Amino acid sequence: MSDLTETAAKLMDCRKDGLGGRPAAGEDPAKREQILDGAQRVFMRVGFDAASMNDITREAGVSKGTLYVYFKNKEDLFAAIIQRKKSLVFERLKQIVDADKSVAETLYEFGITFGMHLLSEDAIRGQRIVIGVIDRMPELADNFFKFGPNTGPVLLANYLARQVELGRLKPIDDAMYTSRQIGDLCMAGLYRPRLFGEMQEPPPREKVERNVEWAVRLFMNTYGTDKS
């Protein structure tokens, strides 16, 4: 390796890993996860408005200087927590739609996974937090509710469109609208009581399964084909 090439490689390593072979400031994934874990515990415990950056530094076990290297404010932190949770759920849902199973089986597993997540304690608390600040911070709510390419409803809509092309489903006028309808059917009678506190605990899995089974049967009776 020439001196010039070796020098360039060392500069690249410094940018990537920081001095001494350690991650550069703000680029240590483990530290970032540590901060997010601490922030999530604080938000879930006291809510968004009552949470302070001091509370989060104590809970995460980092200095305030370190915290601000990774996140500029608590809005940034909360948005990152939302995105992390969405990414984890999305990966599980993607595995389901990518598996070689029948349409009914895929929709059933998708509905169970999505429903159990949406009705979980963390998800419900997060949604309540967003609802509480939506008038003052619409951008935070937009980040929570927006349908990007890496979200469950879009993933399901794309799956439905592919199944129509393969002849496994009858034509669907609006795959995105239908995707949302399936989600609503899977959560019928469960989501609103859970969100607004009438249902204090997440429903048992058997109840979610019964809901999803009914929703899938209704959908397949409408759109199913012999190839389904």
Alpha-carbon 141 to chain mean position: 14
Counted domains in the chain: 2
Are residue 107 and residue 150 in the same domain, yes or no?
A: yes
42 in a structural domain: yes
CB 174 within 8 A of CB 180: no
Q: Is residue 208 exposed (0-12), middle (13-18) or buried (19+ Cβ within 10 Å)? A: buried
Are residue 157 and residue 227 in the same domain, yes or no?
A: yes
Convert the pLDDT of each residue in 1-15 to its tens digit.
444 444 444 434 444
CATH number, domain at 32?
1.10.10.60
CA–CA dist 107, 109 (Å, integer): 6
Are residue 118 and residue 180 in the same domain, yes or no?
A: yes
What CA–CA distances, in Å, run from 88 to 4, 110, 152?
42, 14, 11
Length of the chain: 228
Are residue 132 and residue 224 in the same domain, yes or no?
A: yes
Convert the pLDDT of each residue in 34-89 to its tens digit.
999 999 999 989 988 899 999 999 999 999 999 999 999 988 898 898 888 888 89
Residues spanned by the domain of 52: 15-72
Both tokens assigned to 179? 């995707």
